[in-house]
Structure 1
Amino acid sequence: MTDQQRLGDFDVPNVARMYDYYLGGKNHFPADRAAAEKVIELSRGYVKEAALENRLFLRRAVRFLAGECGVRRFLDLGTGLPTQGNVHEIALAEAPDAEVVYVDIDPLVAAHGRALLAGDPRVEFLEADLRDPDRIFAMLPERFTLDRPVGLLLVACLHFIPDEEDPAGIVARYRELLPPGSYIVISHVCSDSLQEIMAAAGNVYGNANAPFEARPRAAIERFFAGLELVEPGLVPVHEWRPEPDALPPRADIMAVLGGVGRRP
């Protein structure tokens, strides 16, 4: 079965819709809910907290890039279903002259995104595969110029690219295509402390439209090769520049690591 066939099959769990379910959204179907509930049970409920903390990390990273680093071009890859507090909402609140391009392979996600974003020329949604950096850069709208730094987001998506497809090589190609001074934001599920649970979750995702491959910290660090890590480095997502009033997570272990790297 091809990627496109699986994306349009509502009987096949869809990773974007499963993630929406973890976040408490409404864009999911019975197959998505059943698979997500299995993962929730395996993780003792902590996957929902991890998804929320990952979302908060994304927002803080975008706010940091737009507000403190002067970034005005944002490219969000594997964006998933639109939900509250999207990249464009955060970026435009900090910098009304920002430009945001979303990219997702799922035609239903792309159609939904275009419908929600219609009318704002600063935001665009492309249907494309993040595994093809050159094609995505060729598709960028003319106004999304590459004469200034870009904030490229790979948030909670690289663990859906198996090793045989060379995710590190894909990230390296994006790094090469970005102008100097750009930033790459990455979050990724880490397998170090929960290997059995991660393997069991991988079995659940094996029946979904994309495989799931949690990786050890050392493998995640390699995604930042050639980049200058911004403080505090690669850390559990709730520890990346948290808000002063942020409450600690309930989970003893936060199995999602996040970091921001700058292209010299």
Structure 2
Amino acid sequence: MVDEQRPSKELDVGRPNVARMYDYYLGGKNHFPADRAAAEKVIEISQGKVRDAVRENRDFLGRAVRFLAREVGVRGFLDLGAGLPTQSNVHEVALAAAPDAQVVYVDNDPVVATHGRALLATNPRVSFLEADLRRPDEIFSALPATFALDRPVGVLMVSCLHFVPDHEDPWGLVAAYARALPSGSHIVISHLGSDAFPSEMAEGRKVYGAANAVLEARPRASILRLFDGLQVIDPGVVPLNEWRPSPDALPLGDAFLPVLGGVGRVP
């Protein structure tokens, strides 16, 4: 939990932070007043849908990791733009499915870095890199020696590419990771869509404009382009709650979720 009375000098607590806003949506404790105020604006704009979206995002992430560990045999997971630790972290899900799995978290946020170092100290199968997902060459060169790239791995780009603006070419970024991965690797992507609620997305973008990263919700066609060159796993790129849902999954409070997700295999 963050200490609001004595925040770290390295943190900008007066500016909303997307990782801390996400933590607030999930009901976590790692946020400051500026984060809560911005998050509440987004909750109001979305009429509460953002909270459904982030919970479904976490559930999708867990299902995708279990699928890769159990059904595909992936043992190395690279979680890009990992965000703040919360319940059912990637390493918890992966190690429960495959005790010999290894997870490397990557984030360039100082709050996340602090928690990442704590994870690093408690589990030898978990590592943390303070790095920018937009620099794949630097990330691959900094991976632990024990993280094997001679066999398929899973790269998780969950709820992070909509913070990469068009001029930084998120499509080329995904392609760069795919080129660096061995055949049979998988890339997991979730991304906020703009088709169904364009006016609400535009209002939400204004809120995030004052935060540490701009929100770029995109139309479905642009999200599908992220999977170019990958073999998309069934059921395709779909609303998160439709991607291999658990048999006991509860129905959404709203009938439609404006976040798409999918898993692509590197040929």
Q: Does the pair score TM above 0.5?
A: yes
Match of 2:71 in 1: 68
Q: How far did residue 151 of structure 1 move?
A: 0.3
The alpha-carbon deviation at position 113 of structure 1 amounts to: 1.8
Matched with 1:3 is none
Structure 1 CA distance, aligned partners of 2:107 and 2:259?
21
Deviations 1:209-263 (A, max 9, x none): 0000100000000110110000000000000000001111011320010000000
Answering whether residue 97 of structure 2 is matched by residue 98 of structure 1, we say no
**What is the match of residue 175 of structure 1?**
178
TM-score (norm 2): 0.95
Identity %: 68
Note if 1:14 corresponds to 2:17.
yes
Q: State the Cα deviation string for residues 159-180 of structure 1 (Å, max 9, x = none).
A: 0010011111111100000110
Please report the RMSD computed on the Cα atoms of aligned residues, expressed in angstroms: 0.8
What corresponds to 1:237 in structure 2? Answer: 240
Q: For residue 231 of structure 2, what is the aligned residue in structure 1?
A: 228
2:145 to 142, 147, 150: 142
Q: Aligned match of 1:197 in 190, 197, 200? A: 200
Give the drift of 1:114: 1.4
Q: Deviation digits for residues 58-83 of structure 1, max 9, x if unmatched?
A: 00000000011000000000000001
* Aligned length, in residue pairs: 258
Hey, what's the Cα distance between the residues in 2 that align with 1:54 and 1:24? 14
What secondary structure is seen at the aligned counterpart in 1 of 2:151? coil
Normalization by structure 1: what TM-score?
A: 0.96
Contact kept in structure 1, 2:136 and 2:177, CA below 8 Å: yes
8 Å Cα contact 2:157/2:189 also seen in 1: yes
Secondary structure of the residue aligned to 1:44 is coil
Pair 1:262 & 2:258 matched: no
The Cα shift of 1:107 comes to 1.9
Aligned to 1:4: none
Q: Is the 8 A contact 2:119 2:126 kept in 1?
A: no
1:160 aligns with 2:170: no
| Deviation for aligned residue 1:116 | 3.3
1: CA distance, partners of 2:248 / 2:213: 36
CA distance in 2, matches of 1:231, 1:202: 31
Picking from 216, 219, 227, the partner of 1:216 is 219
The CA distance in 2 between the partners of 1:223 and 1:27, in whole Å, is 31
- Of 41, 45, 48, the residue aligned with 2:44 is 41
Mapped to 2, the partners of 1:22 and 1:246 lie a distance apart of: 20
Task: Tell me how far apart the structure 1 counterparts of residues 115 and 146 of structure 2 sit (CA, whole Å).
Answer: 23
Partner SS, residue 154 of structure 2 = strand
| Alignment counterpart, residue 82 of structure 1, candidates 82, 85, 103 | 85
In structure 2, stretches of 5+ residues that fail to align are 1-9
Report if aligned partners of 2:183, 2:266 keep a CA contact under 8 Å in 1. yes
Report the counterpart of residue 29 of structure 2 in structure 1.
26
Q: Provide the secondary structure at the position in 2 that maps to 1:153.
A: strand
Unaligned runs of 5+ in 1: 1-6
